[in-house]
Structure 1
Amino acid sequence: MSSAASPASRTVLVTGATSDIGWETARLLAGRGDTVIVHAPDQVSGDDAVARLAAAGVDVLRLRLVVADFSRLDEVRAMAVRIAEEHPVLDVLVNNAAVAAPERRTVTADGNELSFQVNFLAAYLLTHELAGPLSARPGARVVNVSSSMHRTASISWNDPQRAKRYSRLAAYAQSQLALTVFAREKAPWTSVSVHPGVCDTGLLPLYAHEGDPAAEGAARVVRLCDPATELVPGAYYDRTALSPAAPAAMEDRTVRRLCKLADQLVTAESA
């Protein structure tokens, strides 16, 4: 039976759900009675994540595993097709998958800077590819797990792949700004972005020496997935508080420009 907080079982996709905030988010949502689609970058880490969720007391009948390496956009597309076939209704998409930008600039097989693709372009493509399931029932939500670091960023419009001048912090921050801006794209569902707090995860070294437990960050994400939580469309949340995003993320012109750029980059790979 579903808990009182979740009167009807919903279907939720959590990307990057094999560790840290993503894994804890999947655990909390399944515990509320939702069917959780657990995304993993590969089968081995996915099987391990599901086994750990089961060991943590999660009902494995509530879990569905999907696999896609977000550094390969063709795998993102294939995963979206499978999800749409098996889950014609998707109530929540949590775009959580993220990597720290490497010390040395790394380019994916699709020709994109690694963190820009994994942290933003894959989420952009996946969200659009799942437009059917997300539009199937009123009240669907897309929660982009972003970062306060988006405030330090700028989108290098003339060199989004950072080929001319690369810094891992600048590349990572750009990907987080893009994800925050993307939450403001007009869509039939409600999109928001959230900084879940500086948490003790694999990304911690980018921020600080210590942070909140990943479960606390996940609880802040899950709160935004809850239909009982009223959301402001396109808004940015700092932990649990509605917060002004960086000025660049508030401009409609920037939203249009970013989506046009993303369309070009994800379409180029499918051509």
Structure 2
Amino acid sequence: MNESPTVLLTGASDGIGFETARLLVAQGCTVIAHARTPEESDESCDRLVKSGVDARKLRPAVADFTDLREVIDLAVTVAETCPRLDVLVNNAAITGPQGRAVTKDGHEQTIQVNYLAPYLLTRLLEDALDRSEVSRVVNVSSSLHRGGRINWNDLNWKRRYNRGAAYAQSKLALTMMTTALAEFRPKVREAVSVHPGVIATRMLPGYSYRGRPVAEGAEPVARLADPAAKVLNGGYYDGRLPARASATAVDPGGVRKLWSLTERLTLFDRRQA
């Protein structure tokens, strides 16, 4: 690939996303660096440039994933301004609040930010990805997906909300999406999930007391997002190494069921027109 590869990286304003942006630019990529608000975008882009990142390789992008309308606007902007999108890194995530919160779209906040928004963004950018020879999606998952289950009868936790269970469910759903993209969606040529490790980010208090340096978590994400890197399509990585995802994450029946349900929840089936 002669031209600079273009990577859309969500959640680039902080933590693993911020360090991943630095690594990707160093690898020769042009990074569309997503942040939640214009203020966070300006601040993080300034910090990236001050850290040595070439400003010409950065493109700011803004969307609050608690509002699916903003996700749609982000996808439209990227599709209109990029001749092609080589890699999409779905990194943006939250641990979720202590008490159940509902978005304006009517979904529990954790499942929307960590799964429904990345799903919708990916689907809306399929054509932009299809214009690339790489066409790769990297989903930043978590080893906690192994303890998750899809709460089919109450995906939005209207009953018995539990912060940890909601997070695990969202990461399981994202890992199941990786399976679906690899097996059911020809426009996305490659899809992988990665557990970056227990890393000392602002999310750490949600599930652990100690974590490794942020740069160590960013390294495997950046490696998988490098268009020159060979990846195991549909694979789940624990850091740099391929690992076994949970049985639920690769179960064909459950994966198809979740895919269909998510189309309805995001109204994607109606948005195609």
Q: Normalising by the residue count of structure 1, what TM-score does the alignment of the two structures yield?
A: 0.95
Q: 1:159 matched to which residue of 2? A: 154
Q: 1:39 matched to which residue of 2? A: 34
Alpha-carbon offset, residue 7 of structure 1: 6.1
Classify the secondary structure of the residue corresponding to 2:127. helix
**Cα pair 2:6 2:30 within 8 Å, conserved:** yes
Flag the 1:102–1:225 CA change in 2: closer, same or farther, 3 A. same
**Cα pair 2:5 2:227 within 8 Å, conserved:** no
Q: 2:9 matched to which residue of 1? A: 14
Q: 1:222 matched to which residue of 2? A: 222
**Cα pair 2:8 2:87 within 8 Å, conserved:** yes
Flag the 1:269–1:259 CA change in 2: closer, same or farther, 3 A. closer
Task: Select between 89-98 and 219-228 the one with higher mean Cα deviation.
Answer: 219-228
Any gaps of 5 or more consecutive residues in structure 1?
A: 1-5
Select the residue among 69, 73, 80 that pairs with 1:74: 69
Q: 1:177 matched to which residue of 2? A: 172
Alpha-carbon offset, residue 270 of structure 1: 7.2
Aligned CA-pair RMSD? 1.5
**Cα pair 2:27 2:226 within 8 Å, conserved:** no
**Cα pair 1:73 1:269 within 8 Å, conserved:** no
2: distance between equivalents of 1:175 and 1:150? 8
Alpha-carbon offset, residue 31 of structure 1: 1.5
The reply to whether residue 210 of structure 1 matches residue 210 of structure 2 is yes
Return structure 1 stretches of 4+ with deviation > 4 angstroms: 268-271
**Cα pair 1:191 1:234 within 8 Å, conserved:** yes
1: distance between equivalents of 2:39 and 2:153? 39
Q: 1:241 matched to which residue of 2? A: 241
Classify the secondary structure of the residue corresponding to 2:200. coil
Flag the 1:44–1:54 CA change in 2: closer, same or farther, 3 A. same
Q: 1:119 matched to which residue of 2? A: 114
Identity level (%): 48
Q: 2:191 matched to which residue of 1? A: 191
Q: 1:99 matched to which residue of 2? A: 94
Aligned length: 266
Classify the secondary structure of the residue corresponding to 1:64. strand
Q: 1:3 matched to which residue of 2? A: none
Whichever residue aligns with residue 197 of structure 1, its letter is G
Classify the secondary structure of the residue corresponding to 2:88. strand
Any gaps of 5 or more consecutive residues in structure 2?
A: none
Cα deviation digits, residues 188-237 of structure 1 (max 9, x gap): 32011000000000111123211111111111101111234321111111
Cα deviation digits, residues 98-148 of structure 1 (max 9, x gap): 011111000000000001000000000000000111000222210000000
Whichever residue aligns with residue 195 of structure 2, its letter is H
Alignment of 1:123-134 (within 5 A): 123-134=118-129
2: distance between equivalents of 1:269 and 1:78? 17
Q: 2:253 matched to which residue of 1? A: 253
Alpha-carbon offset, residue 75 of structure 1: 0.4
Flag the 1:268–1:58 CA change in 2: closer, same or farther, 3 A. closer
1: distance between equivalents of 2:129 and 2:30? 15
Classify the secondary structure of the residue corresponding to 1:229. coil
